[in-house]
A and B are shown apart, each in its own frame.
Chain A
Amino acid sequence: MTDPTSLPNSVSQGPDDRGFFGIYGGRFVSETLMPLILDLDAAYRQAKEDPAFHAELADLHKNYVGRQSPLYFAERLTEHLGGAKIYLKREELNHTGSHKINNCLGQILLAKRMGKTRIIAETGAGQHGVATATVCARFGFPCEVYMGATDVERQAPNVFRMNLLGGVVHPVTAGAGTLKDAMNEALRDWVTNVEDTYYIIGTAAGPHPYPMMVRDFQSIIGQEVKEQIMAAEGRLPDMLCACLGGGSNAIGLFHPFLEDKDVQIVGVEAAGYGLDTDKHCASLNAGKPGVLHGNRTYLLQDPDGQILEGHSISAGLDYPGIGPEHSYLRDTGRVEYVSATDTEALEAFQLLCLTEGIIPALESSHAIAEVIKRAPTMDKDQIIVVNLSGRGDKDVNTVSKFLGKGSLAE
């Protein structure tokens, strides 16, 4: 692995004007969308410089979302694992139950500034769909969410939530009916309704400026952690850990720490049935660079460039790509990307329930699974901060099905 201390200073400076992090990112979209993407870029740059935009967002964070989210010392989990001190960044306590709201609030304010009147989104697990429907209700926008038919089935409670919030859910039957197909369909809607529609992409991927913009809106996670850990421990953590589907909660935690070379950073992909099978979603570990959904990034694909369907027990990680900045951080070696299997995630899920009284999302359970491997090997005075990106209420059906089958007993 590359020695982090020898990295160039620019590791956190991306993207460039064309939206590239190294060779990753860019704006690979059809001509119909290109003028919109450029408008969006200009509007976002303007908003970024406008104190009123930040003030409105800060007020919503505090009074609507309930930020800042706690940085919680997981005492019994730490004791149980017998090594490093483990802190949980409690993003699951946010309004709507995950980090997704951070991004949606930023983007809905932008949509409002741009004079758009209709919102669309894609969703996998439904967390982003719920967060989008929430901000649409709050700001009075009609909301249409594209969701793979498979996901509609396995995340039924979130579909109902979206409906309650006034969102219209379109099940997508193309392909395997998961997140990638939902994103294709959202892009088709957008290209058809360019004039009035704003597309709230849920992860730090897609054409520039989305990866940068979503990262910026999620970076509040890492910024808060920095303050909170200084207050609690008087120093930065030794390790950060987060799960990755598209990678928005991870980049939100990681980005403010990229220049802190002593902080080790670990991202955890979904290994599904295992990386030695074809049933996983580990694009950084087992994919190759390619171009999909507007950006160049690591993708699961066959030798002919056809995109493969991912698999994970967690619908939110079930995506064959990854945000382009993660691809860049992988190649530079600044972040280490590992993976956790379905079984490991399920074990971590249960352990957190029993030791801390917290039901984590299956997505976040992948990050916990890595902590279970690492913490015991570290000293007791070392510190890990893990992003608890979402709560697990939505997953109890899935988990009970697996536990009922006894698949954990093996």
Chain B
Amino acid sequence: MEKTRIDTRFAACKAENRAALVGFITAGDPDLDTSLEIFKALPKAGVDVIELGMPFSDPMAEGVPIQLATQRALAGGHTMAKTFDMVRAFRKEDNETPIILMGYYNPIYIRDPKVFVKDAREAGVDGLIVVDVPPEHDDELCLPARDAGVNFIRLATPTTDEKRLPKVLANTSGFVYYVSVTGITGTGALDADKVAIAVKRIKEHTELPVAVGFGVKTPEQAEAVGRNADGVVVGSVLVNAIRDSLDGEGKATEKTVAAVTDIVKGLAEGCKRAKA
């Protein structure tokens, strides 16, 4: 398939000798306007690739931080149409930073996967991560996405063994997302040595960049993971920062945007040090 912004950005980070920082926020958290403001502020703070979470009522792979972020967004009336609006608004100002939509299959299925990928591409989306569509069901979403010019980024996990890895990688594009722990987002103790072995193993099977996520919280962890991986994914630590910045009624405050960007700056430094 044609080169996307994701391919270009990972190549650029490699050329600049740093690990790419992939940052996740939930669309519409804590409200549409603040969420858009955070979204737009991420590249300047140091995020190389943005993962925008599509809120779903039943986020089975998420730990409490992203579950709560999802609930905040849905309570505020967030919809898929508003997620697309956010992407379009972002693209008016930034035509370089890759945007990945991340979420679950049902809100896509109900719109018709072929229509969804076309709309996503037109809005300016570069990739998709959909947790509950494994390679066994590539015909459902992965192949339509590829045909529409949208990367389908697949997760590889500690349970993805040698035999299964080629199947997982077969129709993957953009990059490979290695899930560092068996478990849900925002939990678990990350073991940088084990991750290094896993990344090496995946790289024996693919030319694609490998980014590592689940459990990265600090600049030090980003640095440790980034030594071997091409990218570092952070999510729960950012949505927790949003939560902690809210007032007593759960509304955004003047601190909310900076709470996220401050953390991002530290993590971006970690990603730079990783390859130094």
Contact = CB atoms under 8 A, between A and B. Distances in A.
A399 interface: no
* In the A-B complex, the 3 residue pairs with the closest CB atoms: A305-B107, A305-B110, A192-B183
Interface stretch (B88-96, B128-136, B144-152, B260-268): B128-136
B60 interface: yes
Interface of A: 18, 26-36, 174-175, 180, 184, 187-188, 191-195, 288-294, 296, 299, 301, 303-307
30 contacts: A27-B134, A28-B132, A30-B132, A30-B134, A31-B154, A31-B160, A32-B157, A32-B159, A32-B179, A34-B160, A184-B60, A188-B61, A188-B63, A188-B183, A191-B60, A191-B183, A192-B184, A194-B159, A194-B182, A195-B182, A289-B109, A290-B106, A290-B109, A291-B132, A303-B110, A304-B79, A304-B110, A305-B106, A305-B110, A306-B107
Q: By CB atoms of chain A within 10 A, which of B63, B106, B161 has the most?
A: B106
Contacts of B133: 28
Interface string B54-70: 00111111010001000
A304 B80 contact: yes
A31 B134 contact: yes
B168 interface: yes
Given A32-B157, A290-B110, A307 B183 contact: no
A27 B60 contact: no
Contacts of A195: 182
A53 B110 CA distance: 41
Given A31-B168, A35-B160, A306-B57, 6 more contacts: A28-B133, A30-B134, A34-B159, A188-B184, A293-B60, A304-B81
B108 interface: yes
Contacts of A191: 60-61, 182-184
Given A31-B157, A32-B159, A180 B58 contact: yes
Contact of B136 (A27, A36, A290): A27
Nearest to A208: B136
Given A31-B179, A192-B183, A299-B106, A305 B80 contact: yes
B111 interface: yes
Contacts of B134: 27-31, 34
Contacts of A303: 110
Nearest to A33: B159
Contacts of B168: 31
B164 interface: yes
A34 B160 CA distance: 8
A29 B187 CA distance: 19
A307 B57 CA distance: 6
> Mostly helix, strand, loop or mixed at chain B's interface?
loop
Q: By CB atoms of chain A within 10 A, which of B56, B104, B136 has the most?
A: B136
Nearest to B103: A305
Contacts of B131: 30
B58 A30 contact: no
Contacts of B157: 30-32
Interface in B116-138: 131-134, 136-137
B111 to A, nearest CB: 7
A18 B81 CA distance: 32
A35 B164 contact: yes
Q: By CB atoms of chain A within 10 A, which of B59, B79, B107, B168 has the most?
A: B107
A288 B106 CA distance: 11
B74 interface: yes
Given A192-B183, A291-B109, A304-B107, A30 B60 contact: yes
Contacts of A188: 60-61, 63, 183-184
Nearest to B111: A305
Contacts of B57: 175, 306-307
A27 B140 CA distance: 12
A149 to B, nearest CB: 15
A31 B155 contact: yes
A36 B58 CA distance: 21
Contacts of A184: 58-60
Given A30-B132, A35-B161, A192-B184, A307 B58 contact: yes
Q: By CB atoms of chain B within 10 A, which of A31, A296, A303, A305 has the most?
A: A31
Interface in B172-231: 179, 182-184, 187-188
Q: By CB atoms of chain A within 10 A, which of B59, B60, B110, B155 has the most?
A: B60
Q: By CB atoms of chain B within 10 A, which of A27, A291, A294 has the most?
A: A291
Nearest to B64: A174
B136 A34 contact: yes
Nearest to A28: B132
Given A191-B61, A291-B106, A306-B56, A29 B182 contact: no
Contact of A294 (B56, B81, B132, B183): B132
A30 B60 CA distance: 9
Contacts of B161: 35
A188 B184 CA distance: 6
B78 to A, nearest CB: 9
Contacts of A31: 134, 154-157, 159-160, 168, 179
A321 B136 CA distance: 22
Nearest to A309: B57
B51 to A, nearest CB: 16
Given A184-B60, A187-B60, A292-B58, A32 B182 contact: yes
Interface string B237-250: 00000000000000
Contacts of A187: 60
A283 B58 CA distance: 17
A33 B132 CA distance: 10
Contacts of A175: 57-58
Q: By CB atoms of chain B within 10 A, which of A26, A195, A289 has the most?
A: A26
B179 to A, nearest CB: 7
A301 B108 CA distance: 13
Contact of A26 (B74, B137, B158, B164): B137
